[in-house]
């Protein structure tokens, strides 16, 4: 079983899940090209002459190594053998960088039916790359895939919001934030516990239960915590929530600490800061 939690680390192999090895004829040339075109940074190289190198683009790590007997580049083979996908937050800027560097774009920037905003490009050796950002959370069955086993994407820590009316809260979060209900249990007396997802981020809600010392902000007269939601368009997201029934605490504005953000309170007393980091 692959686990993302491991107390061990290795400075020679700084990643824990997967490390693609990509073949090139000339390692020094490949390192220069990947740096200039895609923005990769070199970690180290080895061999004399250079036989390989390790590079990364943020947290995406690759090994590049010189073609040897039994291995070849797609350009040498005359066909591709694999595609590499790298996730970048500002995929629009990355696309412009790649295009300006003269790389061969094979798939224009677009949103796919499965929820990715991406473009495709071939590198100097014919390797096919996709650079992508998650655009929305899509159930694979919605675009025709057959799901063998649903994937639970709940993070290790998720907030749970106490509300007075779980049914109404679910409908509000669906209308305000486009939430998807992942899990729901209806208890005695109409009480609800539900797991919701907004853009792939998970939170829970439950009807308040005084006997279990779970109180909603409405009962307490205020809240001791607030939710932070990062979106591409804070103005539109806040307006959508207000249309669904939220109230503006302070409007969306550029802040001196480098964010464009606004604050709303939902009909159940929970405060949400909706924003994004400003481009540097």
Based on the fold, state whether residues 126 and 193 are members of the same structural domain.
no
pLDDT at 83: 95
- The reply to whether 5 falls in a domain is no
Q: pLDDT band at residue 70, thresholds of 50, 70 and 90?
A: confident
Number of domains in the chain: 2
- The reply to whether 110 falls in a domain is yes
5-54 residue pLDDT tens:
444 689 999 998 899 999 999 999 999 999 999 999 999 999 998 999 99
Based on the fold, state whether residues 83 and 189 are members of the same structural domain.
no
Q: Is residue 128 predicted with pLDDT exceeding 50?
A: yes
Range of the domain at 74: 21-134
Distance CA 218, CA 222 (A): 7
Q: To the nearest whole percent, how much of the chain has pLDDT over 90? A: 79
Based on the fold, state whether residues 59 and 118 are members of the same structural domain.
yes
- The reply to whether 177 falls in a domain is yes
Q: Is residue 154 predicted with pLDDT exceeding 80?
A: no
SS (H, E, C) 147-211: CCCCCCCCCCCCCEEEECCHHHHHHHHHHHHCCEEEEEEECHHHCEEEEEEECCEEEEEEECEHH
Q: Is residue 275 predicted with pLDDT exceeding 90?
A: yes
Task: For the chain, state the CA radius of gyration.
Answer: 24
176-209 residue pLDDT tens:
999 999 999 998 888 999 999 998 789 999 999 9
CATH number of the domain encompassing residue 170: 3.10.180.10
Q: Is residue 147 predicted with pLDDT exceeding 90?
A: no
Q: Is residue 2 predicted with pLDDT exceeding 90?
A: no
Structure tokens at 50: 């250079």
Based on the fold, state whether residues 130 and 164 are members of the same structural domain.
no
Based on the fold, state whether residues 82 and 168 are members of the same structural domain.
no
Q: Is residue 78 predicted with pLDDT exceeding 50?
A: yes
Based on the fold, state whether residues 198 and 259 are members of the same structural domain.
yes
Based on the fold, state whether residues 116 and 51 are members of the same structural domain.
yes
Based on the fold, state whether residues 104 and 168 are members of the same structural domain.
no
231-260 residue pLDDT tens:
989 999 999 999 999 999 999 999 999 999
- The reply to whether 147 falls in a domain is no
Based on the fold, state whether residues 201 and 128 are members of the same structural domain.
no
Based on the fold, state whether residues 108 and 173 are members of the same structural domain.
no
- The reply to whether 221 falls in a domain is yes
Based on the fold, state whether residues 127 and 165 are members of the same structural domain.
no
């Amino acid at each position: 079983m692959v686990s993302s939690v491991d107390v061990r680390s290795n400075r020679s192999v700084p990643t824990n899940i997967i490390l693609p090895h990509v073949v090139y004829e000339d390692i020094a040339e490949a390192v220069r090209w990947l740096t200039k075109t895609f923005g990769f940074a070199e970690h180290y190289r080895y061999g004399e002459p250079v036989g390989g190198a390790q590079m990364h683009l943020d947290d995406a790590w690759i090994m590049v190594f010189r073609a040897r007997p039994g291995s070849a580049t797609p350009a040498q083979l005359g066909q591709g053998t694999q595609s590499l996908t790298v996730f970048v937050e500002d995929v629009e800027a990355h696309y412009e960088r790649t295009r300006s560097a003269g790389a061969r774009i094979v798939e224009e920037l677009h949103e796919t039916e499965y929820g990715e905003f991406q473009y495709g490009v071939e590198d100097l050796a014919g390797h096919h790359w996709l650079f992508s950002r998650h655009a929305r959370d899509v159930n694979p069955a919605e675009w025709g895939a057959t799901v063998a086993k649903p994937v639970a994407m709940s993070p290790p820590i998720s907030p749970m919001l106490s509300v007075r009316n779980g049914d109404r809260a679910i409908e509000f979060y669906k209308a305000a934030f486009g939430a998807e209900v992942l899990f729901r249990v209806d208890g005695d007396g109409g009480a609800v516990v539900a797991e919701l997802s907004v853009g792939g981020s998970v939170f829970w809600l439950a009807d308040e239960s005084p006997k279990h010392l779970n109180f909603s902000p409405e009962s307490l007269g205020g809240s001791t915590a607030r939710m932070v939601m990062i979106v591409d368009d804070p103005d539109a997201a806040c307006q959508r929530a207000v249309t669904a029934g939220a109230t503006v605490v302070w409007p969306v504005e550029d802040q001196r600490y480098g964010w464009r953000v606004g604050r709303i309170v939902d009909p159940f007393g929970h405060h949400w800061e909706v924003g994004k980091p400003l481009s540097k």
